[in-house]
Amino acid sequence: MKAVVYAQAGLPIDDPQALYDVELPKPEPGPRDLLVKIEAISVNPVDTKLRLGVQPNGPRVLGWDAVGTVEAVGAEVELFAAGDRVWYAGDITRPGSYAEFGLVDERIAGHRPTSLPAAQAAAIPLTGITAWELLFDRLGIEEGGGNGETLLVIGAGGGVGSMLVQLARKLTGLTVIGTASRPETQSWVRELGAHHVVDHGRPLQPQLAAAEIGPIDYVVSLTHTDSYYSQLIELLKPEGHLALIDDPATLDAMPLKRKSISLHLEFMFTRSMFRTASMINQHALLDRLAALIDDGLLKTTLGEHMGTIDAANLRRAHALIESHKALGKIVLEGF
């Protein structure tokens, strides 16, 4: 099968060996696996972080977001059958989705939306799961709850932020404030439903005060947390909640103590990495996300379609993500 791999960590993305085309054997499903013929994928910051920072033992297939059709199932599979149309965000410990065929445990796959083409659907699984887990699992906000409370999303124009703003606006009573620094990103965040948009390139507190927004109940920091950390602590209410998904070099939790601020970390791959008892929750929430999309409550966060799935186009996608100028999600489709 066709696939795109990397074999040496840290190469600049303009090096042809940073990502290159290969032929690999078609994989065989394990007991709970689905063998999926992949139609479309999206590219996430985790893809670039691994390519730059993790040396593989031989050529490695990156990418985890995928949309496709089940070609075969393992002997113990109960949730799917051959021919089912699925989507998933995968397992970081296994080969990824930059390939014609992929394996995924049925417990972390869902039935894809029927109302979206494959490329539009591919933009959603990883960021949708991450946003859902941040909002409802880590922060513990209940669907329909949050009335009278505020949520500040740092980096609301990216993939996770684009889903988080929609989920918070459609499924909770929270007042949603998103941050974005460029006019096109600010417009995007407003279109997704944010009540207010502020510029994270300028001090946040004066902008919030000008909008008559007081201390914040919940902050979700999606990027450059170390740059905003002291501001976020000051903005949060006593007994507020701070959640993050990025990887600051260091994070001193002690400044949170004065206000008894709770710190929450989210990593979408935790459940599949450790085979937790809640692993199957990702199957359920992917099915729920598909239903919300088909009901017209959520929309795709596709930002740019970069063509077919090959090394040249994936190098372009990685370069855009590394520039930190991507709007929404980058997708590729077909081989």
pLDDT in single tens digits along all 335 residues of the chain: 999 999 999 999 999 999 999 999 999 999 999 999 999 999 999 999 999 999 999 999 999 999 999 999 999 999 999 999 999 999 999 999 999 999 999 999 999 999 999 999 999 999 999 999 999 999 999 999 999 999 999 999 999 999 999 999 999 999 999 999 999 999 999 999 999 999 999 999 999 999 999 999 999 999 999 999 999 999 999 999 999 999 999 999 999 999 999 999 999 999 999 999 999 999 999 999 999 999 999 999 999 999 999 999 999 999 999 998 888 899 999 99
Asked which of 214, 234, 265 is the last residue of a domain, the reply is: 265
Q: Distance (Å, rounded) from C-alpha 24 to C-alpha 317?
A: 22
Residue 77's domain is classified under what CATH number? 3.90.180.10
Same domain, 132 and 201: yes
Q: Distance (Å, rounded) from C-alpha 19 to C-alpha 26?
A: 20
Q: Distance (Å, rounded) from C-alpha 130 to C-alpha 228?
A: 21
The two tokens of residue 74 are 């393992």
In which element (H, E) is residue 319 found? helix 311-322
Structural domain range at position 149 = 127-265
Report the number of secondary-structure helices (H) and strands (E) in the chain.
10, 16
Q: Cβ-count burial of 295 within 10 angstroms (0-12 exposed, 13-18 middle, 19+ buried)?
A: exposed
Same domain, 257 and 133: yes
Residue 191's domain is classified under what CATH number? 3.40.50.720
Q: Work out how many domains the chain is built from and give that number.
A: 2
Query: How far is residue 67 CA from its own chain's centroid?
Result: 15
Residue 223: per-residue pLDDT: 93
Same domain, 102 and 48: yes
The two tokens of residue 152 are 């500040």
Asked which of 213, 243, 265 is the last residue of a domain, the reply is: 265
Q: Is 181 helix (H, G, I), strand (E, B) or coil?
A: coil
Please tell me the pTM assigned to this model: 0.97
Same domain, 115 and 131: no
CA atoms within 13 A on the CB side of 197: 21
Are residues 11 and 321 in contact, defined by beta-carbon separation less than 8 angstroms? no
